[in-house]
């Protein structure tokens, strides 16, 4: 597996320090706006128009005082007043249109960003998900994306609008009085520098805040799921879980407080400055008027003062917004960095340029492993899936350190076998031997490190993933059902299946009668992960789902090991029609389920150490015979599987 894709998962587990901002973030953000160039152009025209209309009324105030009133001209007074009434109405209508387009563009960009992120995550290899907490992924997709929504929807156009407003207003102010304008803007560079520093601090705090939110999402997802709450209750650890939540919640609250308070003293200073500047303007204007000799027209008139202070009040708000928005943008850039960090993860398992589609009907079903070797690499996930092979987190970390010093540690080495079309090939061995890894390589959930896995002589890497998924079906030991109806869970395998198809599939899986006993039949909601159903019922639904899919090759990852005897017999009976005529790879812990297999492969330490039929391996007296005698000491195992799946396969 590509190491770049899993180092990030390791970082989430180990709480690696946040990296610095990525280069080119602004360019990548701009690329999301590119499809909406026309709408953006219209918005910019509206912004410019609104900004120019905004300086008309202050200038009209000067004309009303210095021209119409002083000249006692009623006609001009009426004209100026009418214009002052019309301008705000037009400005308001244009503002509504601008707001609509702003929101439209922003929501479209948000939609595209969410779609790209979700699609990219769907294409990530299985190892990424075993190395990354579900809550972390959810946080990136929801909290981080939602965190940039305001910046995308409003801030970009707000910056343009405020810049346009400030520029047009400053020009008008200079026209009225350059002295008063210089006084008003004298300290602005100092404030801009301080704002930049505050923005950098806010950006770092934003990263820490989002990281804390991700930790909280992961904690909630782990402890308030059905499995998590069941584990908490049976061990009586409610208070411990609540304390963990309170601790993380307090950390998040402290970070939010710091984030909100960063620069508040500074912005209070700015607000105070903007409030007292008009006093200095009046003072300077008064000095100019008082110093003008009698009989001469002063450089600053009463109309100029009124118009200037009106413009001044108009400029202070957008300047304050621009100073504050820099802080907001810095925080948003931190979130964009986290989003792009996921979007930059390499997709290590994808269609090769020459990959081809193979029709399911044309597949014979031969599965062959040719000198296959596989290593998880140093980023092997520390998670349930990693420990499914019997290794603890400490073992995995020790393995990584050893691998860095001595080279790769092979999970599988020189695996070769062929499952002929329609055969049942069983994989047996102790936990951690590599059986599940073999099944994952067949389904191309991982790619081989060396060698080839072929279907009908074609390397699985040369088959399109969509076609491969259509060819193979898998029934795993842990059945996953969506929190939805039985019907929708079954239709996940084949959305176009009819009610008759659903009935035939569930009858074949020995679950139809049980479904009919439920109050709402196929429309019964199964609950999160199917917890409203028993283990056997969930497993039979999973089998019905695979029956609907109708694959040519079937992979059974010990579908009955955790069930009671009655449920096991029902599952075995359900598997009978499913296996008929299909090539089947079955991982078996209970040897009673594979006695009549066409070929049994004994896997030990990543190697196939024995192969043959049940009787052949017993006569050999090796590892398989030892496993057999460990499970059955009375030699009557055949009687226990009289109705088992193995008879159907023979």
Question: What is residue 636's predicted lDDT score, i.e. its pLDDT?
Answer: 47
- And the tokens for 564? 């009671």
The pLDDT-based confidence of 6 (bands split at 50, 70, 90) is very low
Question: Do the strands 450-455 and 458-459 form a parallel or antiparallel pair, or are they unpaired?
Answer: antiparallel
Task: Specify the pTM.
Answer: 0.67
Instruction: Please compute the mean of the pLDDT values over residues 82-86 and round it to a whole number.
Output: 91
Residues 567 and 575: their CA atoms lie apart, in Å, by: 12
608 CB burial (10 A radius; 0-12, 13-18, 19+): buried
Helix (H) or strand (E) holding 453: strand 450-455
The pLDDT-based confidence of 607 (bands split at 50, 70, 90) is very high
The pLDDT-based confidence of 23 (bands split at 50, 70, 90) is low
Return the closest-CA partner of residue 58 out of 87, 38, 31: 87
Q: What percent of the chain has pLDDT over 70?
A: 78
pLDDT over 60 at 341, yes or no? yes
Question: What is residue 16's predicted lDDT score, i.e. its pLDDT?
Answer: 39
Strands (E), 95-134: none
Q: Tokens 């090539």 label which residue?
A: 583
Weakest mean pLDDT among 206-210, 300-304, 485-489, 638-642: 638-642
| Cβ contact 218:139 at 8 Å | yes
DSSP 140: I
Helix (H) or strand (E) holding 599: strand 599-604
Question: What is residue 474's predicted lDDT score, i.e. its pLDDT?
Answer: 86
Per-residue pLDDT tens over the stretch 580-589: 888 999 888 7
Which residue ranges form the domains of the chain, and what is each CATH number?
A: 4-343 (1.20.1560.10), 360-375+410-480+540-649 (3.40.50.300)
Per-residue pLDDT tens over the stretch 462-501: 999 889 988 998 888 777 888 888 898 898 888 888 989 9
Question: Do the strands 599-604 and 583-587 form a parallel or antiparallel pair, or are they unpaired?
Answer: unpaired
Exposure letters 270-302 (e unless 16+ CB within 10 A, then b)? beeebeebbeebeebbeebeeeeeeeeeeebbe
Radius of gyration over every alpha carbon of the chain, rounded to an integer in angstroms: 35
- And the tokens for 103? 């929101």
Per-residue pLDDT tens over the stretch 386-419: 334 444 444 545 555 555 555 678 889 999 999 9
Residues 611 and 279: their CA atoms lie apart, in Å, by: 95
pLDDT over 90 at 609, yes or no? yes
The pLDDT-based confidence of 508 (bands split at 50, 70, 90) is confident
Instruction: Please compute the mean of the pLDDT values over residues 201-220 and round it to a whole number.
Output: 75
pLDDT over 50 at 285, yes or no? yes
| Cβ contact 379:1 at 8 Å | yes
């Amino acid at each position: 597996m590509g190491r770049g894709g899993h180092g990030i998962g390791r970082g989430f587990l180990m709480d690696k320090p946040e990296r610095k901002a990525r280069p080119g973030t602004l360019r990548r953000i701009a690329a999301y706006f590119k499809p909406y160039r026309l709408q953006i152009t219209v918005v910019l025209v509206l912004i410019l128009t609104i900004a120019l209309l905004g300086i008309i009324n202050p200038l009209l105030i000067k004309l009303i005082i210095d021209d119409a009133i002083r000249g006692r001209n009623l006609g001009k007074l009426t004209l100026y007043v009418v214009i002052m009434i019309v301008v705000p109405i037009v400005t308001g209508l244009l503002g509504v249109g601008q707001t609509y387009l702003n929101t439209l563009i922003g929501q479209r960009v948000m939609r595209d960003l969410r779609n790209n992120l979700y699609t990219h995550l769907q294409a990530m290899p299985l190892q990424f998900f075993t190395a990354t907490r579900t809550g972390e992924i959810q946080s990136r997709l929801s909290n981080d994306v939602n965190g940039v929504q305001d910046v995308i929807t409003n801030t970009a156009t707000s910056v343009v609008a405020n810049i346009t407003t400030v520029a047009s207003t400053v020009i008008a102010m200079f026209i009225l009085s350059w002295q008063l304008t210089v006084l008003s803007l004298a300290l602005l560079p100092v404030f801009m520098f301080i704002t930049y520093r505050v923005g950098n601090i806010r950006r770092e705090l934003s990263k820490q805040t989002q990281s804390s939110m991700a930790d909280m999402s992961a904690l909630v997802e782990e402890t308030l799921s059905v499995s998590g709450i069941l584990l908490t209750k049976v061990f009586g650890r409610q208070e411990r879980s609540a304390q963990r939540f309170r601790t993380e919640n307090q950390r998040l609250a402290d970070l939010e407080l710091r984030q909100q308070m960063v620069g508040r003293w500074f912005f209070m200073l700015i607000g105070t400055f903007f409030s007292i500047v008009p006093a200095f303007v009046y003072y300077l204007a008064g000095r100019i008027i008082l110093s003008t000799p009698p009989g001469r027209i002063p450089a600053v008139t009463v109309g100029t003062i009124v118009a200037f202070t009106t413009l001044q009040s108009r400029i202070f708000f957008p300047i304050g917004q621009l100073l504050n928005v820099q802080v907001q943008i810095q925080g948003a850039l931190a979130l964009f960095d986290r989003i792009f960090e996921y979007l930059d993860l390499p997709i290590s398992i994808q269609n090769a340029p020459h990959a081809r589609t193979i029709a399911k009907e044309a597949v014979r079903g031969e599965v062959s492993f040719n000198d296959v070797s596989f290593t998880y690499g140093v980023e092997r996930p520390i998670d349930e899936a990693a420990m499914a092979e019997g290794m603890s987190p400490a073992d995995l970390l020790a393995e990584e350190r050893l691998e860095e010093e001595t080279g790769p540690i092979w999970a599988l080495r020189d695996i070769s076998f062929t499952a002929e079309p329609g055969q049942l090939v069983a994989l047996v061995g102790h936990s951690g031997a590599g059986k599940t890894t073999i099944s994952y390589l067949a389904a191309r959930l991982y790619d081989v490190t060396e060698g080839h896995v072929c279907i009908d002589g074609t390397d699985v890497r040369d088959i399109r993933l969509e076609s491969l998924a259509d060819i193979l079906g898998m029934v795993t030991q842990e059945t996953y059902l969506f929190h939805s109806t039985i019907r929708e869970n079954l239709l996940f395998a084949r959305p176009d299946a009819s009610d008759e198809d659903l009935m035939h599939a569930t009858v074949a899986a020995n679950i139809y009668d049980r479904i009919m006993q439920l109050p709402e039949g196929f429309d019964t909601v199964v609950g999160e992960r199917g917890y409203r159903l028993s283990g056997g019922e969930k497993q039979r639904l999973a089998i019905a789902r695979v029956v609907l899919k109708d694959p040519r090759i079937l992979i059974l990852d010990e579908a009955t090991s955790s069930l009671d005897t009655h449920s096991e017999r029902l599952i075995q009976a359900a598997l009978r029609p499913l296996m008929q005529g299909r090539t089947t790879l079955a991982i078996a812990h209970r040897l009673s389920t594979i006695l009549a297999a066409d070929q049994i492969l004994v896997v030990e330490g990543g190697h196939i150490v024995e192969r043959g039929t049940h009787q052949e391996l017993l006569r050999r007296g090796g590892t398989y015979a030892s496993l057999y005698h460990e499970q059955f000491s009375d030699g009557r195992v055949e009687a226990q599987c009289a109705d088992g799946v193995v008879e159907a396969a023979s």
